Amino acid sequence: MSAQPALPTAAEEAALARAWSRRPGFWGALAAVDHKVIGRRYIATAFVFLLLGGLAALAMRWQLATPEARWLTPDLYNQLFTTHGTSMMFLFAVPVMEAMGVYLLPLMLGTRNIAFPRLNAFSYWIYLAGGLLLWGSLLIDMAPDVGWFAYVPLAGPQYGAGKRADIWAQMVTFTELAALAVAISIVATVFKQRAPGMALDRMPLFAWAMLVTAFAIILAMPAVMIGSTAMILDRLVGTHFYNPAEGGDVLLWQHLFWFFGHPEVYIIFLPAVGMISTMLPTFCRRPVFGYLPLVLALVGTGILAFGLWVHHMFTTGLPRLGESFFTASSMAIAVPSGLQIFCWLATLWRAEPRPGDLTRTPMLFIIGFFATFILGGMTGVMVAAVPLDTQLHDSYFVVAHFHYVLVGGAVFPLIGALYYWFPKFTGRRLSEARGRWVAGLLILGFNLTFFPMHWLGLAGMPRRVYTYPPEMGWAGVNLFVSASALLLAAGFLLLLVDVALSLRRGAPAGDNPWDAGTLEWATSSPPPPYNFAALPVVRTAAPLWDGNGPLPVATGLATDRREVLLTTVLAASPETREPSPEDSIWPFWAALATTALLIGSIFTPWAVVWGAIPTTAALVAWFWPKTAEEDR
């Protein structure tokens, strides 16, 4: 293997296309393991769940627009807010961020497919099943009604009647299983499949962010899976994990849930931070300021994220000394966040943009991120203080706070990233003219909707109420909030229109429409199934900005079968060639069998026994050993 610009011949490219293309037809689609195919499906599905969650929110805002409205029954309202929160957190935010990683990382890192592509395909089917379970249950009036954090005893066997809380708990199992599978693929891809020469300190910051995120997922998700499994056991087979009358503890659930639930926020936020750190240099026409501090901030945030969970429990009566520790750690996370913001400001301050660069649609979303997320961070410092939290907790102030953090901190950068990478996904650009309107409507609509909620919370309005009495004085502001929500919804509608129109009629993008520096722009848009005809070799953090002519490439990988190059963890020196799995229908069947097992277990514990049989059969077929083609 040598680093020289020996470009592959047309015959070799045709062979690569044959080896990496997915099989045609319906079954071929179900068997696909290409990270781009899976990533696209994941992103599209996640946006569908975003729209559904948004519709649920609009229904709630309609109900809250006037006091003592009877448009929604309390039962339906409770199902809607639970489905809204659960869908946004478990079915939209985390999956869409992972999906961006699934699509982009192999391209950014210069490899031909993600590690464990079949596991990745399995993850998508499991995720889809979990999403259908939740939204399907709403259709038949059986949706969970216990809130996205499903506190016991309300979600326990005694007070959570019917199967609603069970559906919630198993939906958690689906989505966490899916998230864990992707996280493992991401860690392996980032560590072992980087292009030759892409040492860790030359890796795009988005890859760093996804790496930290993947580790956070691996460490955080098991807590909630154990917690929700214990909840199902309490409900289904009569254990007493959370029953104080039999020696259980209701606060155990809160600890397990928030040990996952707080890192979850950073699992959503860190990829967005990585997107900003990757997009900003493109428009500033210079490398990001402070690469090393930014990496340290990502890692520091990822670690601190696990020391904050008790700040969701400041009013439960835990010892004040212990709570004070969590105040300190919660406030301390402002330091790495601040550091990142200062590095981005320095990047902008010392930018050398071409005219118009700083007002491109992705930049508008980054500017919106600054105004909105920082305000959410400030209110975050407030709720981190135990004394203030006793007033703000569980009020509309907190609703405002976490929407500022999650929408401002994650959704705005994500939509900016959609405008930025859409050309790579589809080969066509989204409209800049419509993009400005989308950014304007979303940023303005968001702030008009959520800023007044700070006041509502201070004025005493608790969250999760399906209505409020007229004499409370909250009606005017609630009406204003509900009207503003329509503006926000119009922004999302226009985004949908832009995507639909641009898919068919958008301007052709070319390989590198933004003149960006990272590797995903070194291949065609959309990329071929094998990503790169020849593997790029990397010498700097922005390989396309080297100014040394065409990228050097590595040769030596097979062209007639699927192979990826494994490199060393630190320096990314070439190590070995590794076969990459062929398409397979078995991840789909395995996911279907697992789905039957998990949904069956909502109704009878025996489903775990009987469901294990087809699941095992599918896994055996999936992993059936084959002779490597090389050895035939």
Partner 1 sequence: MRAGVALLLLPLAGCTGAQSALDPQGSVAQRLGALFWLFVAVLGLIWLAVLLVLAVALRRRAVSAAPSGERRAGRVVTAATLATALVVAGLTLASYRATHGLSDDAAAPLVVQLRGYQWWWQVTYPGPGGGLVTANEIRLPAGRAARIELSAADVIHSFWVPNLAGKQDMIPGRDNALTLTPLTPGRYRAQCAEFCGLQHAHMALMVVVEPPEDFAAWMAAQRATPAAPADPELAWGRRLLEEKACGACHALRGSRAAGQLGPDLTHLASRDTLAAGMLPMTPGSIAAWIADPQQIKPGNAMPRVELAPDELRALTAYLASLR
Q: At what angle do helices 250-284 and 334-349 cross, to 10 degrees?
A: 10
Distance CA(190)–CA(376), nearest Å, equals 31
Burial of 139 (0-12, 13-18, 19+ CB in 10 A): exposed
Using the structure block, give the residue that is written with the tokens 């097979």: 558
Residues 425-464 that bind partner 1 (CB under 8 A): 447-448, 451-452, 454-455, 458-460, 462-464
Q: Please, what is the minimum distance in Å from the beta carbon of residue 289 to partner 1?
A: 6
Cα 234-239-244 angle, rounded to 5 deg: 85
CA 191 vs CA 137, 141, 531, 573: distances in Å: 40, 45, 19, 12
Residues 195-254 that bind partner 1 (CB under 8 A): 244-245, 249-251
Q: Is 198 left (phi over 0), alpha (psi -120 to 50) or beta?
A: beta
Residues 392-421 that bind partner 1 (CB under 8 A): 392-395
Distance CA(583)–CA(563), nearest Å, equals 13
CB atoms within 10 A of CB 573: 11
Q: Please, what is the minimum distance in Å from the beta carbon of residue 361 to partner 1?
A: 15
Compose the 104-143 pattern: x for residues touching partner 1 by CB under 8 A, - for all others. ----------------------------------------
> Which CB sits closer to partner 1, 100 or 383?
383
Which of the stretches 151-159, 214-222, 409-417, 589-597 binds partner 1 when contact is defined by CB under 8 A?
A: 151-159
Compose the 71-110 pattern: x for residues touching partner 1 by CB under 8 A, - for all others. --xxx--x--------------------------------
The β-bridge relationship of strands 553-554 and 563-567 is: unpaired
> Which CB sits closer to partner 1, 38 or 294?
294
> Which CB sits closer to partner 1, 117 or 491?
491
Q: Please, what is the minimum distance in Å from the beta carbon of residue 312 to partner 1?
A: 12
Which of the stretches 168-176, 344-352, 401-409, 597-605 binds partner 1 when contact is defined by CB under 8 A?
A: 344-352
Q: Please, what is the minimum distance in Å from the beta carbon of residue 27 to partner 1?
A: 46
Which of the stretches 94-102, 213-221, 258-266, 386-394 binds partner 1 when contact is defined by CB under 8 A?
A: 386-394
Q: Which of 15, 385, 571, 617 binds partner 1 (CB under 8 A)?
A: 385
State yes or no: residue 338 binds partner 1 (CB under 8 A): yes
Alpha helix (H) residue ranges in 540-623: 586-603, 606-622
Q: Please, what is the minimum distance in Å from the beta carbon of residue 378 to partner 1?
A: 4
Q: Please, what is the minimum distance in Å from the beta carbon of residue 471 to partner 1?
A: 8
State yes or no: residue 147 binds partner 1 (CB under 8 A): yes
> Which CB sits closer to partner 1, 328 or 620?
328
Number of residues that bind partner 1 (CB under 8 A): 88
> Which CB sits closer to partner 1, 4 or 316?
316
Q: What is the number of alpha carbons within 13 Å of residue 55 lying toward its C-beta?
A: 8
- Could you please report the per-residue DSSP string of 13-45? HHHHHHHHSPPSHHHHHHH---HHHHHHHHHHH
Residues 33-52 that bind partner 1 (CB under 8 A): none
Q: 381, 315 in Cβ contact below 8 A?
A: no
In this structure, the chain runs to a length of: 632
Q: Which of 13, 65, 132, 151 binds partner 1 (CB under 8 A)?
A: 151
> Which CB sits closer to partner 1, 188 or 381?
381
**Residue whose C-alpha is closest to residue 36's, from 385, 612, 520, 541:** 520
Q: 615, 126 in Cβ contact below 8 A?
A: no
All residues at 6 or more sequence positions from 57 whose CB lies less than 8 Å from its CB, including other chains: 84, 485
Residues 528-557 that bind partner 1 (CB under 8 A): none
Residues 458-517 that bind partner 1 (CB under 8 A): 458-460, 462-469, 471-473, 476-477, 480
Q: Please, what is the minimum distance in Å from the beta carbon of residue 215 to partner 1?
A: 24
Which of the stretches 135-143, 366-374, 501-509, 559-567 binds partner 1 when contact is defined by CB under 8 A?
A: 366-374
All residues at 6 or more sequence positions from 241 whose CB lies less than 8 Å from its CB, including other chains: 230, 231, 233, 234, 248, 252, 253
Q: Please, what is the minimum distance in Å from the beta carbon of residue 287 to partner 1?
A: 10
Residues 263-302 that bind partner 1 (CB under 8 A): 289-290, 293
Q: Please, what is the minimum distance in Å from the beta carbon of residue 473 to partner 1?
A: 5
CA 257 vs CA 15, 51, 96, 145, 487: distances in Å: 50, 26, 21, 17, 34
Q: Which of 29, 226, 367, 475 binds partner 1 (CB under 8 A)?
A: 367
Burial of 331 (0-12, 13-18, 19+ CB in 10 A): middle
State yes or no: residue 325 binds partner 1 (CB under 8 A): no
Phi first, then psi: what are they for 255, rounded to 5°? -65, -50
